[in-house]
Structure 1
Amino acid sequence: MTDGAAHRARPPSVARKVMAILDAFALGGVRLNLSEICRRAGLPLATGHRLVGELVAGGFLERVPDGTYRIGTRLWRIGSQAPAVTGLRELALPHMEDVYEVTHDNVQLAVLRDDKALVVERLRGARSVPVVTQVGSTLPLHTTGVGQVLLAFAPRDVRERVLAAGLERYTPRSITDPDELRRVLARVRHRGYSHTRDDMTVGASSVAVPIRDAEGGVVAALSLVARTRGADVRRLLPPLMTAARALSRDVALHWRVDAAGGAPLALDGSPPAASGE
């Protein structure tokens, strides 16, 4: 047997099998059952079952009550340290601090990842409404301010995929009707911001605005989360818009600098996204 034949015949290592399992989620599909994971990873069911179980135990994957699996919080946290996301956080933090000083409410920055809003930075207001989100956690797109902004400006196929997957109800005010959500997203695109009231958590509301790159594509969303009784758009929107414009200028400048060196900045870990229609 030649060296080449021996190399081809060598079984894949455990590390390669684990990478194949994780890469299965990059092909699309927020949640996958075990058979889908094994098919995408090219692994026998027994092998996949064992390795997926170990990844769940380690927090790299999560098992959903319906028996499917999704990327785990631990992996999100590790991914949030990637240079692309870290660069966005470093640019955004001074502007987020400015917003916090004016409002003393929770400030969040999120990007679109696998049909979820991935929180890449947040500042928690000590006197504001308690929030459970943390850096590396994900939020649904249809019930949060950052999520609605990201979904409104996402490509049409992303929006339709999210709508087709079903809209989970978190509170009595959660939008679960696809046609209603389409109208809400059209309004977000028209006026340039999202305003949710008790959609995700009773007693908490948010206002969110888009962050754009040099080409006008929406690469992130910035939001304020406040108690519903104090979530006056007239109070929250002006400082948020000011910060978003300043951050968008910084992002555009950073993108141009990196692009001039032959490496365009991909702030969310992917090519800059075009705005939705």
Structure 2
Amino acid sequence: MALDPASVLAKVMRVLHAFGADDHGLGFAELQRRTGLPKATVHRVANDLVEAGLLDRVDGAFHLGSHLFELGMRASVERTLLEVATPFLEDLYERTHEVVHLALREGSEVVYVAKVAGHRAIRTPSRIGGRMPVNATALGKALLAHAGEEERIAVLRGPLERRTARTITAPGRLRQQLDKVVETGVAYEFEEGAPGLVCVAAPVLDPQDRPVAAISISGATPRFRPTDHAASVHAAAAGIGATLARRAALAEEGLT
């Protein structure tokens, strides 16, 4: 059920959602512009959020507060996923020294929840908590490929966002790639999200073959050849899925 726009909670959510993944702080005027709320309302809500520790105010600019991170880490699904996935992500990084991601899907976007990168890693448009369109990422294709048909159709009907000249925006072509992902177990991205960036991803599936998350390795072309790492990514995703399933089974038996 949608929130009543006039409710206090709706106004709080508008203020919190005004912050983008790349923002390092927003001044009052910019916060008011992004929310579209009256100045007095923004002033009252922002001050209340500062008091609650959900926003910080530094040198006149507002920042998302550390308490938000703490609350996010208490979310059981994401916390368990991160605990299980982290060793697999670190292993992939040690094998390749390229950028390794863990992501979830929300509608037509992927949300990055973990990123492992070293000093030589290529610059990527990804940020923890940031989003990218599913059609422009290997992660998104891996997740959408294993989604239900209704969810697939909803995304394919678009609009499909273009990020580079190579982004796939034709629904028929994207569907063909999704079918190939189901067949092979991996998805690829060739400069579709950012120029010079290529990627291979695999879905983390539950025992019913539903997508829980996806992991990927990204690198610079022509140094990085994603097909060379398809087996490693697929094996790591399968390992994460098996470990999550084992934990869930133990929890049901009351052994954890």
Shift of 1:49: 4.1
Q: Deviations over 1:197-251 (max 9, x none)?
A: 0001000011000111233322110100111212323422222122122212111
Relative to structure 1, the CA distance from residue 215 to residue 163 in structure 2 (aligned partners, 3 Å threshold; closer, same or farther) is closer
Q: Give the equivalent residue in structure 2 for 1:94.
A: 87
Q: How many residues align?
A: 213
Partner of 2:251: 258
Residues 102 and 215, structure 2, Cα contact 8 Å, conserved in 1: yes
Partner of 2:103: 110
Contact 1:173-1:199 at 8 Å conserved across structures: yes
* Structure 1 residue identity aligned to 2:219: A
Question: Which of 200, 225, 228 is equivalent to 1:232?
Answer: 225
Deviation at 1:80, TM superposition (A): 4.3
Tell me by how many angstroms 1:22 deviates: 7.5
Task: Give the 3-state SS of the residue equivalent to 1:256 in structure 2.
Answer: helix
- Counterpart for residue 160 of structure 1: 153
Normalised by the size of structure 1, how large is the TM-score?
0.67
Q: CA deviation at 1:174?
A: 0.5
Task: Assess if the C-alpha contact under 8 Å between 1:80 and 1:120 holds in 2.
Answer: no
Q: CA RMSD in A?
A: 3.3
Q: Distance in 2 between matches of 1:247 and 1:136?
A: 21
- Taking the aligned partners of 1:169 and 1:198, their CA distance within structure 2 comes to 11
On the 8 A contact 1:213/1:252 being kept in 2, the answer is yes
**Aligned counterparts of 2:12 and 2:205: Cα–Cα separation in 1:** 29
For residue 137 of structure 1, what is the amino acid of its counterpart?
G
Aligned residue among 125, 129, 132 for 2:122: 129
With normalisation by structure 2, the TM-score equals 0.72
The answer to whether structure 1 residue 19 and structure 2 residue 9 are counterparts is yes
Cα deviation, residue 79, structure 1: 6.9
220, 240, 245: which one pairs with 1:247? 240
- Is residue 139 of structure 1 aligned with residue 126 of structure 2? no
Residues 126-179 of structure 1, C-alpha deviations (whole Å, 9 max, x = no match): 212112322211121001011111111111121111122311111110011111
Tell me which residue corresponds to 2:204: 211
Aligned counterparts of 1:56 and 1:207: Cα–Cα separation in 2: 41
- Give structure 2 stretches of 5+ with no counterpart: 15-35, 55-63
Structure 1 residues 9-29: Cα deviation after superposition (integer angstroms, max 9, x where no partner): xxxxx9x924356889xxxxx
Q: Which runs of 5+ in 1 are unaligned?
A: 1-13, 25-47, 61-72, 262-277
Contact 2:147 2:210 in 1 (8 A): no
